[in-house]
Amino acid sequence: MATPASDIDLSPMIFTEFVSDGKRYRTEEPLVFKVSYIEEDEVYLLEGEYHTILWGKTREEAWDVLIDDFDWKWRRIAEADPEELAPFYADMRVGLRQRFSLASRAP
């Protein structure tokens, strides 16, 4: 059964930091993810920069998927050898490394 429309939160999600390999990365220029609710699938859909399209049954689940996605992108793209990446991913690597900087070691 679909969630009543009055309970659906479509406010944008603001993303400023994530943890990857025990390190916290942060940006001064927040990423803003558009939030939609697909009633027939009963999922929240997030869309935004770095070709991000993710979903979750709840906003909280979608947020967790977003954090996991950026951890993956950092490990597999931002930390990769640029010579081993296809041009599309090499460009994404540059963008990620320019946008996010090491803030601290995660606790």
**For residue range 8-41, what is the model confidence (pLDDT) as tens digits?**
899 999 999 999 999 999 999 999 999 999 999 9
CA–CA dist 43, 48 (Å, integer) = 16
pLDDT of residue 106: 60
Count of H-run helices and E-run strands, the chain: 2, 5
Burial class (CB in 10 A: 0-12, 13-18, 19+), 89: middle
Output the pTM of the full model.
0.87
2 has pLDDT over 70: no
A 10 A CB-CB count for 79 gives 13
Q: What is the per-residue pLDDT across 74-90, written as a single tens digit (0 to 9) for each?
A: 999 999 999 999 999 99
